[in-house]
Structure 1
């Protein structure tokens, strides 16, 4: 319950109270939690205090708000991904005890647009493999990923191989060593088509990740543009003090 003498903020105590209800199975996935008014009366606190506790759990993916219906237990936590190291989607999901999968949306060998030519430092007329996939974890859509790889680096890439772990294929089948990557992150809104793939409302905010990965010799290996569900992912970074 709530300890008014504790230095721990009231909203955080309420947050932990709700988490304990879920942990002890008093509230199960899909259950509607008490309203803000009910919590306000129960704990004799302001509605703003209750709202902060609930929104923290919504942002963590533990609770889910449905307009006009209330707040429900989602049964999911946001997946944390570190920005300190380079790993593929499949590796991330396996490390978290989840089953990774992909749904191939498009696979082509093309002459890329100028923006991709620049990012991959390609010569005139060079072709790339363009691979677009829905990335899934435990059969739920997590991201839309579009990858461009110079065809000269993976000459034997097939449609089937492109729908597996690309990093595994590149390192094990092609014998290439991935060294590092440059990556950027920003918030964008999904289109209607992207929303349908990710199973989120049209215009929902998502996390746009753009990455260029490089081989040990410095050659650009890939340019990838990924749209991650903001309600299922959060990115972590360690900042050492210089």
Structure 2
């Protein structure tokens, strides 16, 4: 293994083990070169790997600032359930089902999607806990005309697993909107927000492969626990 790779792995472990905490400055290139008994060029290569992996940010006049790597990644453009994200990113968490009831679709959603005034939905409300703290509040509205039943056990586990594997429906695509909004009384009641004044809100309208609208979701996230990621490639005009 190249020496700069060894240094990268050593510094990565130091960041993950919080020897260097978010906001800390790494030692200077000269100090690191002396510590590891290598050239500054070797240290620069190791720092580039840390930069590309999202562990540090270079800031002119300051040096290498350690970033918060404890946030969980939420894909912006993908259509992925929380359960799938939890499994792939090894998030040790718990879902608490607080509501699962049939009701009329709220008026503002009816107007947005031009739905009949008597549209019936399953309203599902869930708290997502990480390390004992409620950091996400999910609100889902599922059309009963497409999803006739939604058992509590399935709602607590994974809506999409039930819809796809039990009902045999094919989920196609979603349109998403991301906003940062002031916290509400409900947020204060159902989330552990510490001293936060705002939450990240993701609103999604979800469609089956045959283009039928079947789900509206409002997902409210605590600011310090997640980062929303995407991959973008520039295309020449």
TM over 0.5: yes
Contact 2:126 2:139 in 1 (8 A): yes
Aligned-CA RMSD value = 3.5
Equivalent-residue separation in structure 1 for 2:23 and 2:180 (angstroms): 31
Q: Secondary structure at the match of 1:163?
A: helix
1:220 equivalent in alignment to 2:233: no
**1:49 lines up with 2:42 in the alignment:** no
Partner deviation per Cα, 1:108-140 (whole Å, 9 max, x = no partner): 211122212234553342211111111234544
Quote the residue 2:228 is aligned against. Answer: 235
Contact 1:206/1:230, CA 8 A, preserved across alignment: yes
Residue 152 of structure 1 and its aligned partner are, at CA, apart by 1.3
> Which residue number corresponds to residue 58 of structure 2?
none
Structure 2 residue matching 1:181: 3-state secondary structure? strand
Partner of 1:185: 178
Q: Under a length normalisation based on structure 1, what TM-score does the superposition of the two structures give?
A: 0.69
Distance 1:219 1:202 in 2: 41
Task: Give unmatched runs, 5+ long, in structure 2.
Answer: 1-8, 32-60
SS in 2 for 1:161: helix
Could you say which residue in structure 2 is the equivalent of 1:208?
201
Query: How does the TM-score come out when normalised to structure 2?
Result: 0.70
CA positional deviation for 1:106: 1.7
CA deviation digits over 1:57-90, x for unaligned, max 9?
Answer: 3xx2x5xxxxxxxxxxxxxx11112223110111
Q: Alignment length, in residue pairs?
A: 199
Identify if the C-alpha distance between structure 1 residues 34 and 220 changes in structure 2 by more than 3 Å, giving closer, same or farther. Answer: closer
Helix, strand or coil at the partner of 1:176? coil
Deviation digits for residues 144-200 of structure 1 (CA, Å, limit 9, x no counterpart)? 010101111111222332222001111111111100000011111223441343212
Structure 1 residue 126 corresponds to structure 2 residue 119: yes
